[in-house]
Amino acid sequence: MHTVEIGQPYPLGATVDETGTNFALAVSREVEAVELCLVADDGTETRIPLEERHGTTWHAHVAGIGHGQRYGYRVHGPWDPARGLWHNPAKILVDPYARAFTGDYEWGQQHHSYDFDEPDRIDTSDNLGTSMLGVVVAEDFDWGDDAPPAVELTDTVIYETHVKGMTKLHPAVPEELRGTYAGMAHPEVVRHLTELGVTAVELMPVHQFVNDATLQEKGLSNYWGYNTLGFFAPHAAYASSSEVGGQVREFKQMVKDLHAAGLEVILDVVYNHTAEGNDKGPMLSLRGLDNAGYYHLVEGDERHYMDYTGTGNSVDLSSPKALQLVMDSLRYWVTEMHVDGFRFDLATTLTRVEGEQGPDMFSGFFDVVRQDPVLRTVKLIAEPWDVGWGGYQVGNFPGLWSEWNGMYRDTVRDFWRGEPGTLGEFATRLTGSADLYEGDGRGPGASVNFVTAHDGFTLRDLVSYNEKHNEANGEDNNDGEAHNRSWNCGVEGETDDPEVVTLRARQRRNFLATLLISQGVPMISHGDELGRTQGGNNNVYCQDNEISWIDWSAMDDSLVAFTRDLIALRRDHAVFRRRHHFDGRPAARDVEAPLPDIVWLEPDATAKTEDDWGAEARSIGFYLNGHMLTRGDEEGEEPYRDFYVLMNAWWEPVPYTLPGPTFPAEWEVVVDTSSHVAPDGTRPRVRAGDVLELPARSTVVLRQVPEGA
């Protein structure tokens, strides 16, 4: 027999102390009784009634219970789906505050649909052998002298990656560690990241998620992990440890090791929906605890869900209980797991209020985050859209927030594939998207720039395919985005044609060069620097196999070196990492006629006018003043260097005359996407007045040569 005492209503979840564990669970007001279910290794279940409640929180302290104990809950209350009440004690529910999970769901009838018209037919079977259970976790861990790298936002270079896909095929990672948190922190993986020069890894979902029954029936799985069940628990399958609850310690060690290498850890978090899906989906946790307290429900039909996410349900952060769950989770990952920031999947959903109204960009969620002393110090990145009405909110998130800039992605792709009429917007995106962020006081760091991400083509496929090729997903190639703004350079798919191969390589370099010299925060999708392909599949969410895993044996060493050099150029020159938008005013410098912070130039070296941004213009040149001594920007590293950037998306060369007086007298070529730097490291030099033939579809970056150098 277990000694049970009253315990405390807070903190929610299972909290270990010197004598046992405090259990606290928040449920709906209609709940009549709650049973804590302690499950032994052999599946034997011990049920302990929770006799005490404080408001809607039921709680108890159980002596002798500690780390590794499996548990769940059975909740007694009315079954009335028409009123949004789904209480069914036949189902063992997982604690939404559980710090770890064990087991998995083998989907069957007992987890799926219910007969709403005949409630007496509610399935009362529950096989614990096929249930996922929470695990009691002791939070002790020796963090030593761990400290957040605290990289300035504008100095940040993000590497979006997948814990499993990053290391599953890595030859230097021991087989037993591949695809795990420990594998992610392996010295050879860390070495690649640090030598590349990125400052942060953005991990695709690592909150505990579950597989989709529909995918399982096809022999596929939810590889990406956007099907969250537990907002506090690291996904168990990514742990190399066989210890029950060992994934928590392994995750912490990964963070500690990455921090030691100077790398921040950003989590891609999915608070917009859960794995329970629509009203035909499984009842796993929140639905059976307080359905109306956690989800947006359709007014007048309380068993159905508002679906702003395309997944069947949407979490309602206008509800105090749901808001508390999300805020508690965010603080936990910062304070206990030491992560450095979050990328919020479908973040517009987090702003939705009751009913079918549009998003509320002044919602309480933003207010709570803004005043939170923990969260206002970390990186907050929104995916600023969802699938509901008015869901596209790029540029509309408040201060403290950065955003995935979908306009940047689309414009850069269009420019380099030669679309007419893109030059003006391309210039705006290159310079930090002031049209989107400057109005509310945000700087270029609000724009997270990307050309590719997990969702869509890889960089190699972007220049190799005009059409998606998702046949392996089992949906007759109907899934995934059909409008990719891609260009295959003349041949669909892989080819040995030397001209096409050369052009594709140049285009990849053009995209990387554009990304890394643009103002804002660049994000690289994992493996793009290696030349990774998914065979034209632009929606590998269900491909947990060689289609989606990084093939390290096919590494493009020259592309890796090119990417590394670009990141180093960005790191060494603050002119590419401005904290304030350009304003066209002179930058202070010790000359009689100071030049502006940026100057747009025509091929003949004259200043651009409004008439020069026409539909057929497909090349651009701009001067960047390296002497940023005014309006709070960094001074730039010594020696101060000016830059002249030339980009040509035209299919023929364009001659550019280098500007004369008041501009630097001599330049050196530091980036040329049409050729490689000489093996001896020498850099070609050109002088004011020279004519530089800018090759077709190429980027050239010139750096000022100091006088006398």
* Catalytic annotation, pick one of 279, 307, 316, 345: 345
In whole angstroms, what separates CA 62 from the centre of its chain? Answer: 39
Q: Residue 365 to residues 271, 347, 439: CA-CA distances in angstroms?
A: 12, 11, 22
Q: Which residues contact 512 (CB under 8 A, 6 or more apart)?
A: 451, 459, 524, 528, 529, 559, 562, 563, 566
Q: Residue 225 to residues 135, 205, 646: CA-CA distances in angstroms?
A: 20, 5, 41
Strands 207-209 and 133-135, sheet pairing: unpaired
* Residue 245: closest CA among 143, 133, 142, 150: 133
Rg (CA), the chain: 27
HSE, CB side, 13 Å, CA atoms: give it for residue 498. Answer: 0
Token duo for residue 90 = 């036949």
Q: Is 383 a catalytic residue?
A: yes
* Catalytic annotation, pick one of 383, 403, 419, 544: 383
* Residue 619: closest CA among 664, 651, 659, 576: 651
Integer Cα distance of 412 and 261 in angstroms: 32
Q: Tokens 């599953």 appear where?
A: 168
Angle between helix axes 557-572 and 187-196 (nearest 10 degrees) is 60
In whole angstroms, what separates CA 507 from the centre of its chain? Answer: 25
Name the residue type at position 669: V
Helix (H) or strand (E) holding 462: helix 459-462
Q: Which residues contact 403 (CB under 8 A, 6 or more apart)?
A: 381, 382, 383, 384, 394, 395, 397, 446, 447, 448
Integer Cα distance of 471 and 523 in angstroms: 28
Question: By the 8 A CB rule, do 524 and 160 touch?
Answer: yes
Integer Cα distance of 622 and 609 in angstroms: 13
Token duo for residue 224 = 């990406």
Q: Which H, E and C letters describe 413-437, residue by residue?
A: HHHHCCCCCCHHHHHHHHCCCHHHH
Integer Cα distance of 266 and 330 in angstroms: 12
Token duo for residue 199 = 């400052």
Q: Which residues contact 18 (CB under 8 A, 6 or more apart)?
A: none
* Residue 447: closest CA among 393, 404, 394: 404
Angle between helix axes 423-430 and 406-416 (nearest 10 degrees) is 130
Integer Cα distance of 607 and 663 in angstroms: 12
Q: Is 475 a catalytic residue?
A: no
* Residue 647: closest CA among 530, 522, 523, 506: 506
Under DSSP, the state recorded for 530 is: G
| Residues tagged active-site | 345, 383
